[in-house]
Structure 1
Amino acid sequence: MNTMIRKICFCLVAFLGAAVLAGCAANTVVPLNYSLVASPGQACRGPMTVLKFKDAREQRSLGRDADGNLLRPATDVADWVGWSLYEELSALSCPVEYHGIRKDEGARTILSGEVVDVRLMPMGKTVWKAKVSVLLNVEREGKVIVARTFSAEREKPIIFGVSSREEVLTEALQGVMEQMVSMALTS
């Protein structure tokens, strides 16, 4: 019985030690979330297709934390941007589809582009800054009618348990989406 208690105590101590180490390990994977900012009242000009965006960033990481650890996105950055544009247009009741590849789109407006830059930077112990830049192409009948790069930056303090660095990144993408949706609806 004494041996059994020792084994249980050993397993319990090992488990607690692993839990403590996991809690202290650097959190380097950053979830890519998005919250809509669409304002009702904007009208769509007709059916649209959002094509999967290309990731044209030189670095696939999002940057480094204050300790120098590489920050990696939890999901594909180009999908994050493309699906966010699709969701914004859907929220405005636009007839919109999302496609991973180009196909015969007929008379639909095609929205495609490239993710130029997505960065997350510590600006001190509790302040984070995010930058997002995206090139948007608006096409009709096989011709690019507008190609423009949109950028937004956000900086804010992070309070543990209340806000997160992911929120700063989301807010930067929202700034880009406001501009992109406006252009998509007026072009």
Structure 2
Amino acid sequence: MKTYMKWLPLAALALALLTGGCAAGNAIKLKYALISTDSPCSGEVTVFRFEDKRPATVLGKTADKEAITTLSDVADWVGWALFDELENAGCKARYRATALTPADDLVVTGEVLDLALDQTGMTTYKGRVSVRIVVSRSGNIVHSEKYTSEVENVVVPGYSTEADILAEALRGVMYEAIPAIAAAAKK
């Protein structure tokens, strides 16, 4: 009888962690890690705060039909990722969240059109990011394009998370967008 009593608190703790972890797992903190593009960027670029134009703020559903949400500001996540990528490529990047000054020459802004994450299997998730990026110089649009990236991958506890899948999808967008912005910065 005493042997069972020793294991009871450990079993209760494990059960609490498992159920609490699942509930907390439905709200994701977005993160981003830089990629390396072969597009060197020169010149000054101002990234103006992106707009969140998603039709719904819920990212998707788990296999149990529970909503997956984010703890992060989606527009800031995309805008700061773009800023970091441009800076990493060699641009002298600035980030603005308020009005632009006339001295700002090349301006990059955009809209987050979609951010989705759905559980497609026991440990498999599919993430999708869709962003419209607009590059303008002196008020004239020099580049405007919609970029979409979709990634499906396995989430392994202790190794990867759902946020990693969304970060990988955003890197897919950046991989295509950075060369176009770098080309516009050279002109």
In the alignment, which of 20, 34, 37 is matched to residue 36 of structure 1? 34
Which structure 2 segments of 5+ residues have no match?
Answer: 1-8
Task: Give CA-to-partner distance per residue, 1:130-182, whole Å, 9 cap, x none.
Answer: 00000000000011122110000011122222221111111000000111111
Provide closer, same or farther for how the CA distance between residues 108 and 164 of structure 1 changes in structure 2, counting only shifts above 3 A. Answer: same
Give the TM-score, by structure 2 length.
0.85
Which structure 1 segments of 5+ residues have no match?
Answer: 1-12
Residue of structure 1 in register with 2:69 after alignment: 72
Query: Aligned-residue CA RMSD in angstroms?
Result: 1.8
The one-letter code sitting in structure 1 at the alignment partner of 2:27 is V
2:125 aligned with 1:125: no
Provide closer, same or farther for how the CA distance between residues 161 and 19 of structure 1 changes in structure 2, counting only shifts above 3 A. Answer: closer
Q: CA offset at residue 20 of structure 1?
A: 4.4
Q: CA offset at residue 126 of structure 1?
A: 1.2
Task: Give CA-to-partner distance per residue, 1:48-102, whole Å, 9 cap, x none.
Answer: 0001100000001211111111111111000000000000111122111000023
In the alignment, which of 164, 167, 172 is matched to residue 175 of structure 1? 172
Aligned residues: 172
Contact 1:46 1:108 in 2 (8 A): no
Residue of structure 2 in register with 1:50 after alignment: 47
> What is the alpha-carbon distance in structure 2 between the residues aligned to residue 61 and residue 107 of structure 1?
35
Residue of structure 1 in register with 2:156 after alignment: 159
> What is the alpha-carbon distance in structure 2 between the residues aligned to residue 64 and residue 162 of structure 1?
22
Largest Rg, 1 or 2: 1
1:94-173 aligned within 5 A: 94-106=91-103, 108-173=105-170
